[in-house]
Amino acid sequence: MKVLLVEDDLTLGTLLKDYFTEVKDLEVEWVKNGEEAVKIFPKLHPDIIILDIMMPKLDGFETAKHIKKIDEKVPILFLSAKDMKDDIIKGFTLGADDYITKPFDKDELYMRMKAILKRTHKIDESDILNFGKYSLDTVQDILKTPTGEINLTTKESKLLELLARNKNQIVNRSDALLRVWKEDTYFNARSMDVYISKLRKYLKDDPTLQIINVHGVGYKLTVED
């Protein structure tokens, strides 16, 4: 998920950018006013915009108007200290997909973002990986199993995607750590072992699938024909 965050409050902006990038492993571009947002938007092509309303130069409403002229389909979630009915109605009239009032919980904001993308995202075939009786939606981080759906964490999804895109091939341990955890450290390696155990449990309903530990090298997702 590529996020354009438009927020002039330095404390909140820093908090959200750190949360999205370090906890949720998203790609975030943070700008501090509407003019910057309108200028950078055509080059960035974000999947979603998190847009504060009360800002200098261009407020969130005016910013949304300009951006929607460029791309009327891009999802926008408004942030505001206001909860007045007229402001909420105005936001939705301008094409907002959701609206959350400050103060808010970061996890709730993230879940609202995912819900918006689930409604608006046009699925590309390359986003869906099929292996055995399972399929992985790499955009929504959803694993479809023989018994239902599992909402994966970002790291679970990225690790499983790496294994699935390289099925029946060894995925080097260090490469996996750098791609998913960004650092090859002892503690991250222990963390990856825990995640591998979780993924094995998720895949237990299909005996033709196995995640094998290749000692001293890495892991391999084996898929029987």
Average pLDDT over residues 65-86: 86
Q: Compute the distance between CA of residue 3 and CA of residue 18 in angstroms, rounded to an integer.
A: 13
Q: Which CATH architecture has domain 2-120?
A: 3-Layer(aba) Sandwich (3.40)
Minimal CA–CA distance to 35: which of 13, 2, 60, 3? Answer: 60
Answer for the pair 198, 153: CB distance below 8 angstroms, yes or no.
no
- Rounded CA-CA distance 165/176 in Å is 12
The residue-averaged pLDDT of 50-76 equals: 91
Return the pLDDT at 80: 84
Structural contact between residues 143 and 152, judged by C-beta atoms closer than 8 angstroms: yes
pTM of the predicted model as reported, rounded to 2 decimal places: 0.64
100-147 pLDDT, tens digit per residue, is 988 899 999 998 998 888 777 655 566 889 999 999 988 778 899 999
Q: What pLDDT band is residue 212 in, cutting at 50, 70 and 90?
A: very high
Residue 225 confidence (pLDDT) above 70: no
CA-angle at 121, arms to 111 and 4, nearest 5°: 65
183 with 223: CB under 8 angstroms?
no
With bands split at pLDDT 50, 70 and 90, how would you rate the model's confidence at 70? very high
Return the pLDDT at 164.
Answer: 94
Chain region(s) in the chain for CATH 3.40.50.2300? 2-120
Give CA–CA dist 8/33, Å, rounded: 6
pLDDT, tens only, 11-48: 999 999 999 988 887 889 999 999 999 999 999 989 99
Query: Tokens standing for 2?
Result: 């590529």
Given this model, what pLDDT does residue 123 score?
A: 54
What's the rounded mean pLDDT across residues 182-190?
A: 91
For residue 120, what pLDDT is reported? 76
CATH fold, domain 153-223, is Arc Repressor Mutant, subunit A (1.10.10)
